[in-house]
């Protein structure tokens, strides 16, 4: 099973009885989290997620203990608590909900597990009425070791779901027996033998996946694109295929290439987030 996305972990905890859900609904100045970032606090004081450096979490746990109903509190700049400041000097408006709608949390989590976007209606406030979620990032990697193995290992270390597709499970020149990648799945081709690529790329561009990339130098890319167009793939669809892949020019080792590719993928995925 794919590990729970960090963005979904507090939501999952909030499904449990007695768990408090805290949501950032406003930010003044700069801050290291986005609008909608969440923290769950269990009855024993332990937390899921993070909003700052630990001091804020402890303050939230203290404040929620005496709170009978949802409320938005200001922390940091502009807060009436003059003895509490955020390290960044900014201000946060945080919705503290001592009893979130457990059924709504479970319904949102179930949609995410089905690879569908989800929303959670927040208690009445003037800043954020709906907390939006997108399904967790997945990577589908086709190809050969050592490059494929390096990308798989790094993805696992980052808690990113990885689907490994080796040549032994494919037929040369044939479309893979897999569903097209969904909106939140990245497809990466890491072949030295580029003969495998055309049907795999045709399959990938038929889905709404946010990222499609294929390893190869300039000559390989030009030949690949020409062949795809000969096979009837549109100019726009060919333009969706990243090449060269990654954010580090001229990566020369499998680990560097994997880091380069995964950095690019995560950056593109984060840009899709409904709360920016």
CA angle (203 as vertex; 199, 205 as ends), nearest 5 = 115
- Predicted confidence (pLDDT) per residue in 27-56, tens digit: 998 888 899 999 999 999 899 988 876 778
Question: Could you tell me if 108 and 118 are in contact, meaning their C-beta atoms sit under 8 angstroms apart?
Answer: yes
In 3D, which of 6, 102, 94 has the Cα closest to residue 50? 6
User: Which range, of 69-73, 95-99, 167-171, 207-211, averages the lowest pLDDT?
Assistant: 167-171
Instruction: Give yes or no for residue 248 having a pLDDT over 70.
Output: yes
Beta bridge partners of 76: 91
Candidates 3.40.50.720, 3.40.640.10, 2.60.120.260, 2.60.260.20; correct CATH number of 138-271? 3.40.50.720
Per-domain boundaries in the chain:
6-133, 138-271
Dist CA 47 CA 185 (whole Å)? 29
Arithmetic mean of pLDDT over the chain: 92
The alpha-helical segments, DSSP class H, found in the chain are 6-13, 55-64, 102-113, 147-157, 197-205, 218-230, 235-239, 254-271
Q: What is the pTM of this model?
A: 0.91
40-54, 84-98, 110-124: which is most confident: 110-124
Work out the number of other CB atoms within 10 angstroms of the CB of residue 135. 21
């Amino acid at each position: 099973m794919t590990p729970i996305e960090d963005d979904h972990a507090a939501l999952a905890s909030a499904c449990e009885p007695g768990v408090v859900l805290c949501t950032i609904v406003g930010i003044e100045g700069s801050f290291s989290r986005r609008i909608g970032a969440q923290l769950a606090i269990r009855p024993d004081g332990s937390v899921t997620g993070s909003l700052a450096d630990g001091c804020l979490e402890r303050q939230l746990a203290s404040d929620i203990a005496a709170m009978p109903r949802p409320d938005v509190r200001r922390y940091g700049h502009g807060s009436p608590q003059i003895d509490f400041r955020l390290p960044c000097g900014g201000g946060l408006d945080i919705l503290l909900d001592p009893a979130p709608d457990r059924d709504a949390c479970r319904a949102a989590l179930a949609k995410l597990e089905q690879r569908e976007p989800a929303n959670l209606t927040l208690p009445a406030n003037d800043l954020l009425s709906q907390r939006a979620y997108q399904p967790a990032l997945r990577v589908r990697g086709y190809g050969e070791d050592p490059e494929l193995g390096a990308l798989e290992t790094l993805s696992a270390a980052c808690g990113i779901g990885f689907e490994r597709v080796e040549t032994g499970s494919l037929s040369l020149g044939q479309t893979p027996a897999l569903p097209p990648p969904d909106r939140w799945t990245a497809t990466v081709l890491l072949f030295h033998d580029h003969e495998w690529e055309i049907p795999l790329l045709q399959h990938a561009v038929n889905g709404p996946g946010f990222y499609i990339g294929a390893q190869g130098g300039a000559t390989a890319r030009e030949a690949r694109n020409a062949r795809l167009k000969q096979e009837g793939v549109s100019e726009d669809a060919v333009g969706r295929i990243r090449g060269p892949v990654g954010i580090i020019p001229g990566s020369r080792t499998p680990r560097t290439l994997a880091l380069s590719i995964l950095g690019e993928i995560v950056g593109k995925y984060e840009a899709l987030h409904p709360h920016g």
